[in-house]
Structure 1
Amino acid sequence: MANPVILTVDDDPAVSRAVARDIRRRYGDRYRVLRASSGPEALDALREVKLRGEQVALLLADHRMPEMTGVEFLEAAMDIFPAARRVLLTAYADTDAAIEAINVVDLDHYLLKPWHPPEEKLYPVVDGLLEAWSVTPDAASIEIRVVGHRWSAPSFKVRDFLARNLVPYRWLLSDDPEGARLLDAAGATEADVPLVVTAEGKALVAPNETELAALAGLTVVPASDFYDLVVIGGGPAGLGSAVYGASEGLRTVLVERRATGGQAGQSSRIENYLGFPDGVSGAQLTDRARRQAVKFGAELLSAREVVGLSEAGGARLLRFGDGSEIAAHTVVLATGVSYRVLDAPGLADFTGRGVFYGAAATEAPSCVDQDVYIVGGANSAGQAAVHFSRYAARVHLLIRGADLTASMSRYLIDQLERIDRITVHPHTAVVGGTGQDHLQQLTLCDTRTGQARSVDTSWLFIFIGAEPRTDWLDGVLVRDGRGFIVTGPDLLTGGRRPAGWSLSRDPYHLETSVPGVFAAGDVRAESVKRVASAVGEGAMAVSLVHRYLEAQ
């Protein structure tokens, strides 16, 4: 972390050099000494320091400056670094102004010029001020800072992207003093949020995911244009393929559209995964798998969406959304599934503003002592209910069926029954939502009687259905009626291979209707929708990749 800053401001070059020299001589090993020749120049320097997330310990400003007096500068500087200690340098004739400044800018001290010898007239004062500042310094930010509105969907998307990619950040509301200071330092307004500021001080207004990934230090550009294996999708199946592919010597790249981990990565705790008797969070499992893949040499591309797949002789071409391409001998499709949109009047207007798809773990601390509603009866919904029960006053789990036994693991049902804050509402559907700038009320309906009732809440989390993101493969691969990718023996109709199949053999077990392209995990038709099976299929796909390559 950079040393705290001491800033001196004086329009007289000789005085400016002298004060900076004396300060640097005694404090230069612990503090970074900056000097400015005017108030506006000094304010620009402070804004840059603020954006970089550094600390300012002390401000020393001459009173008589033409563009901006020292008092005016210190008053403006308080809005940027309110905890910095403030000293006014004055001539004897300006002592009245200095005394007045004690009330105007909460002045800590004023020094008469000249201050020689500094050992007697300067250093004792500065020593005391720095010691006082060190007890309650400004909080330095070494991580990314995000400034936004509480109920802003774009602000939520930025926070969710960073959280799911395991990038530490600090969240600041735009109407909080620190958030407002960052907006001002970046020359932005509340209308511009979200504002993202890196630890190096680079500010970006409303960045898209590719820009955000680059700011966060994630890799967005492939290192090569040709690979042995391209894995599309960073959930458990994709990470499994990346780990096994790279560990077995294949030039492997994993391409993820949003964040590694998939739906499993959002789980607060997975308790039935082999080898973790005390459970493991989806984020922890994802982080370990990512590091394992990188250790073996896999390349991970973030915020890149693949929109096209085609054959080019023995290669498979993959086209990104920006028109660029990469090629590979083989491809593993592990794009998983997404939650189905809950089609009820009013809900679409509040997506990211009270209505969330998936766990949205970043929102849990904001739900303290409030009622949270969760729609869904599978394991992901149950895990979310357990997680939110640690914060919310009450968690309401809404299901259409009579109970959870048909869709949820027994261990999780037992866990829900032991938590007093969780209530399961059978035969219940959400049929509407209303509010002003965010969700404020839901309309619930009893699916047996049709009777509706309204409940007040600002929190709805949806875990329904499983829709594969495979529209971009329409006409390229064989899919079933719901869009899941058909593989292996299921491709054979009456003993005949799929149309366009160019090889003399039948498709391998996880192979799609295009030779050398495999599917693993939830996106594959008839797959078991569990983390362990997805990882297993990802590993199995790599063994079939080897078999395919050896036969070429």
Structure 2
Amino acid sequence: MQPAIILVSDEHTAFLLDEFGRYARDYDLHTATSCKGALEVTRTIRDAGGQVALFVTDTELPDAHVLEAFHAWRTVVPTARRIIAAHWEHFLERAPALRPGMAKGKYDAYLLMPRGVRDEEFHGAVTELLSDWGSTVAKPEVESVRIVAPAPTALTLAIRDYADRMGMPSGFYTPDTEIGREAVLECATPGEPAYPIVSTPGRPSFVATSVRDVAISMYGAPGDVKVEGLVDLAIVGAGPAGLAAAVYGASEGLTTVVLESEAIGGQAGTSSMIRNYLGFPRGISGMRLAQRARNQALRFGTQFYTGWDVESLETRPDGTHLLSTGGGSVEARSVIVATGVAYRKLGIQAIEDLVGLGVFYGSAMTAAREMEGYDVVVVGGGNSAGQAAIHLARFADSVTIMVRRASLAETMSQYLIGEIAYNPRITVQPCSEVADGGGEGRLEWLDVRDTTTGAVTRREAHGLFLLLGAEPNCDWLPPSVARDRRGFVLTGRDIPTDLWSHHLPPESLATTLSGVFAVGDIRAGSMKRVAAATGEGSSVVPLVHTYLAPTT
């Protein structure tokens, strides 16, 4: 059974069916003339084990307001994407009343119904939403990564999450399946088989001991790739700031190398949907944004090496820099530090012991699909926590956002607060913190402390997603790079005056080490937003050019 697209209109059903004919090969097209009729079709598909990928509805239905209809359909299939296709006679007239609902997440796009053949603006929006649905909900048709193990573990989930962040669909198999048996035979060694066994494109199966093993298998390690001589620019970190610096640096003629220890995209790459990034009116997932930026940088000649942490930065007497990793080193005339931040640990050992077994740091896109039918908790009050909660609500029975503050207003964007308030599956629990947790082999319960009274209550929870704020990733930097008391890199006028050269402050994104710059979340005082990080990544390149100018 193919995924379904349901077209709903009292007047224009036949027209919509004709317009969506191009999707008939890959989707089952269904029609209805009312909210009730579409609800019956949806339940029939669900009860037969099928999936609904997309609802497309006219602006008015005979038996319900269109936003009420979306709510009814969403209770049956919360993962489907939702479009209003307005007839051209009513597009402008009805837009003011309907568009506010889009801001609250009631539907995904308000589009003008096609007026002729090959309306690619309309169909571009449709395929964009179908692609988003396919990457986050549907079982992949082609698996780039296959993992074999007797049962899911923290490592298998981490590998799948890494693959998702790299835009590589994955599948999990037990050893008693046909695919599992083939993988076990391919990795046969004396004694009991070791797991997990991982297969990646064009390479033999192997036993993975870490996510880094998989990264190296996919892309090779820095030591496997010959970096020809001294490069103009080495960027440490491939989050939004590092990717922007790579695009602008390479496009302006600098030989550019990017070193990333994990997945391209950094913390932003785990975001299920970024809705307030300029130029993407329907939003874009962090993974897609990162992969597009990576491809853009590759087009200009950037070299990417993933799988190794940068262990040290050494500056030589001639001013060049040596970046050392476990797999090799890179020599560069200038360095941009864009390593971002990591989520702060909760610090409760019982919880830490269950990481990967119901407990996750970050939004863990893969884990979200495993939460179907469960009650889950998201701890954190920032935008990442809000985005994670909205994504989890597509799968989980209930999502509780737990924050120590009295509300989300101080830390979260208003558009997310509005969308959360509308979603009946999401509850905000203020003035609360996790005190303990446990279960038999995986998370089953949490103890929650009221921060105002100190009272502790126990609740069921099969998923805990921790998005607790920022800790810098820059322990590898030498002491000559000044940092604030929290460990974030100081730049520009934030650097103490006694460290200025000739009584002049460094450039705005320059550090205390000549030729080394810092951008994005790792920089002290930075705004923790994707757009701000990309802005800094692009703004730093002219400073790099100025620094290199005397020797070019």
Normalising by structure 1, we get a TM-score of 0.70
Does residue 380 of the first structure (1) align with residue 384 of the second (2)?
yes
Worse-matched range after superposition: 240-249 or 152-161: 152-161
1:48-63 aligned within 5 A: none
Worse-matched range after superposition: 198-207 or 291-300: 198-207
Query: Which of 327, 333, 337 does residue 341 from structure 2 map onto?
Result: 337
| Aligned 8 A contact 1:243 1:292 in 2 | yes
Partner secondary structure for residue 281 of structure 2: coil
1:410-429 aligned within 5 A: 410-429=414-433
Distance 1:426 1:196, change over 3 A: same
Q: Distance in 2 between matches of 1:198 and 1:328?
A: 32
| Aligned 8 A contact 1:315 1:327 in 2 | no
Partner secondary structure for residue 360 of structure 2: strand
Does residue 550 of the first structure (1) align with residue 544 of the second (2)?
no
1:460-499 aligned within 5 A: 460-493=464-497, 496-498=498-500
Query: Which of 185, 195, 198 does residue 197 from structure 2 map onto?
Result: 195
Superposed displacement of residue 333, structure 1: 0.4
Partner secondary structure for residue 192 of structure 1: coil
Partner secondary structure for residue 499 of structure 2: coil
Distance 1:383 1:149, change over 3 A: farther
- List alignment gaps of at least 5 residues for structure 2: 1-139
| Aligned 8 A contact 1:337 1:468 in 2 | yes
Does residue 272 of the first structure (1) align with residue 253 of the second (2)?
no
Q: Distance in 2 between matches of 1:428 and 1:191?
A: 45
Partner secondary structure for residue 471 of structure 1: coil
Q: Distance in 2 between matches of 1:475 and 1:406?
A: 35
| Aligned 8 A contact 2:321 2:335 in 1 | no
| Aligned 8 A contact 1:259 1:302 in 2 | yes
Match of 2:527 in 1: 528
1:53-106 superposed Cα distances (whole Å, 9 cap, x missing partner): xxxxxxxxxxxxxxxxxxxxxxxxxxxxxxxxxxxxxxxxxxxxxxxxxxxxxx
Worse-matched range after superposition: 290-299 or 434-443: 434-443
1:155-170 aligned within 5 A: 155-170=156-171
1:280-359 aligned within 5 A: 280-322=284-326, 324-359=328-363
Distance 1:185 1:517, change over 3 A: closer
Q: Distance in 1 between matches of 2:178 and 2:344?
A: 39
| Counterpart code for 1:455 | R
Distance 1:199 1:290, change over 3 A: closer
Match of 1:406 in 2: 410
Q: Distance in 2 between matches of 1:489 and 1:353?
A: 45
Q: Distance in 1 between matches of 2:175 and 2:480?
A: 47
Worse-matched range after superposition: 203-212 or 383-392: 203-212
Q: Distance in 2 between matches of 1:318 and 1:209?
A: 26
Worse-matched range after superposition: 318-327 or 238-247: 318-327
Q: Distance in 1 between matches of 2:327 and 2:144?
A: 33
Does residue 257 of the first structure (1) align with residue 256 of the second (2)?
no
Distance 1:140 1:242, change over 3 A: closer
| Aligned 8 A contact 2:256 2:302 in 1 | yes
1:485-521 superposed Cα distances (whole Å, 9 cap, x missing partner): 001122242xx434xx5x7964111000011100000
Superposed displacement of residue 161, structure 1: 2.1
Normalising by structure 2, we get a TM-score of 0.70
Worse-matched range after superposition: 377-386 or 183-192: 183-192
Q: Distance in 1 between matches of 2:239 and 2:226?
A: 19
Superposed displacement of residue 437, structure 1: 1.8
Query: Which of 184, 205, 208 does residue 207 from structure 2 map onto?
Result: 205
| Counterpart code for 1:341 | K
Partner secondary structure for residue 166 of structure 1: coil
| Counterpart code for 1:393 | D
| Aligned 8 A contact 2:186 2:205 in 1 | no
Q: Distance in 2 between matches of 1:425 and 1:246?
A: 46
| Counterpart code for 2:521 | D
Distance 1:222 1:165, change over 3 A: farther
Match of 2:146 in 1: 145
Q: Distance in 2 between matches of 1:194 and 1:446?
A: 41
Distance 1:504 1:314, change over 3 A: farther
Superposed displacement of residue 353, structure 1: 1.4
Partner secondary structure for residue 350 of structure 1: coil
Distance 1:217 1:334, change over 3 A: closer
| Counterpart code for 1:242 | A
| Counterpart code for 2:530 | V
| Counterpart code for 1:513 | T
CA RMSD of aligned residues (A): 2.2
Superposed displacement of residue 451, structure 1: 1.4
Superposed displacement of residue 157, structure 1: 2.2
Match of 2:39 in 1: none
Q: Distance in 2 between matches of 1:235 and 1:229?
A: 16
Superposed displacement of residue 197, structure 1: 2.0
| Counterpart code for 1:179 | G
| Counterpart code for 1:523 | I
Distance 1:379 1:150, change over 3 A: farther
| Aligned 8 A contact 1:240 1:538 in 2 | yes
Match of 2:73 in 1: none
| Aligned 8 A contact 1:219 1:300 in 2 | no
Match of 1:537 in 2: 536
Q: Distance in 2 between matches of 1:202 and 1:329?
A: 38
Superposed displacement of residue 222, structure 1: 4.6
Partner secondary structure for residue 321 of structure 2: strand
Q: Distance in 2 between matches of 1:140 and 1:400?
A: 42
Match of 1:112 in 2: none
Q: Distance in 2 between matches of 1:330 and 1:191?
A: 47
| Aligned 8 A contact 1:316 1:331 in 2 | no
Worse-matched range after superposition: 382-391 or 472-481: 472-481
| Counterpart code for 1:165 | M
Q: Distance in 2 between matches of 1:551 and 1:185?
A: 56
| Counterpart code for 1:204 | F
Q: Distance in 2 between matches of 1:385 and 1:283?
A: 17
| Counterpart code for 1:430 | V
Worse-matched range after superposition: 464-473 or 317-326: 317-326
Distance 1:207 1:509, change over 3 A: same
**Percentage identity across aligned positions?**
41
Aligned residues: 409
Distance 1:274 1:316, change over 3 A: same
Distance 1:327 1:207, change over 3 A: same
- List alignment gaps of at least 5 residues for structure 1: 1-138
Distance 1:489 1:240, change over 3 A: same
| Counterpart code for 1:425 | Q
Q: Distance in 2 between matches of 1:151 and 1:482?
A: 36
| Aligned 8 A contact 2:405 2:431 in 1 | yes
| Aligned 8 A contact 1:317 1:325 in 2 | no
Superposed displacement of residue 218, structure 1: 5.1
Q: Distance in 1 between matches of 2:400 and 2:533?
A: 30
Superposed displacement of residue 191, structure 1: 6.3
Match of 1:43 in 2: none
Q: Distance in 1 between matches of 2:192 and 2:520?
A: 43
| Aligned 8 A contact 1:141 1:199 in 2 | no
| Counterpart code for 2:510 | E
1:131-169 superposed Cα distances (whole Å, 9 cap, x missing partner): xxxxxxxx9976331113544112122222222222232
| Aligned 8 A contact 2:145 2:163 in 1 | no
Superposed displacement of residue 185, structure 1: 5.0
Partner secondary structure for residue 266 of structure 2: coil
Superposed displacement of residue 425, structure 1: 0.6
| Aligned 8 A contact 2:184 2:193 in 1 | no
